[in-house]
């Protein structure tokens, strides 16, 4: 792939992930606006679509908190299937389950040795 094909391919990805207000990093994995990604996306867009680049940053700054901080994630209100806290909960439940199983196994092994 030569440089111009690479640029066109990158443009297609950015165009395909454009919501009208911001660019999502991935439609299925990260359907919200992430500040880190948006900054790099705005840099990329600035080479061929300055208006979109500015809109990307404007959407991010529209979510600025009253104390001046920029959020790490600006949640897409239309997207209801992604929840980072849900995933964190599932991981926590898995870890706790593994620890309980290990503790039960250890207790069971100790009880066999005592008998």
Same domain membership, residue 91 and residue 47 = no
Same domain membership, residue 96 and residue 68 = no
Same domain membership, residue 96 and residue 46 = no
Same domain membership, residue 64 and residue 88 = no
User: Into how many domains does the chain fold?
Assistant: 2
pLDDT digits (tens, 9 = 90+) for 55-95: 999 999 999 999 999 999 898 777 766 666 655 566 667 77
Residue 106 has pLDDT above 80, yes or no: no
Same domain membership, residue 98 and residue 66 = no
Same domain membership, residue 98 and residue 61 = no
Helix (H, G, I), strand (E, B) or coil at 66: coil
pLDDT digits (tens, 9 = 90+) for 13-63: 999 999 999 999 887 778 889 999 999 999 999 988 999 999 999 999 999
Q: Give the range of the structural domain holding residue 111, as residue numbers without chain letter.
A: 83-115
Same domain membership, residue 28 and residue 41 = yes
Which tokens is 105 given?
């196994």
CA-to-CA dists, residue 93 to 32, 82, 100, angstroms: 25, 18, 10
pTM of the prediction?
A: 0.66
Mean of pLDDT values over 94-98: 77
């Amino acid at each position: 792939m030569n440089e111009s094909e690479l640029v066109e391919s990158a443009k297609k990805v950015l165009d395909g992930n454009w919501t009208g207000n911001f660019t999502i990093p991935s439609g299925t994995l990260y359907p919200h606006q992430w500040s880190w990604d948006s900054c790099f996306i705005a840099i990329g867009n600035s080479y061929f679509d300055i208006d979109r680049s500015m809109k990307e940053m404007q959407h991010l700054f529209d979510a600025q908190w009253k104390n001046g901080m920029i959020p790490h994630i600006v949640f897409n209100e239309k997207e209801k299937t992604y929840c980072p806290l849900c995933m964190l909960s599932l991981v926590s439940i898995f870890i706790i389950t593994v620890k309980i199983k290990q503790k039960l196994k250890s207790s069971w092994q100790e009880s066999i040795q005592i008998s």
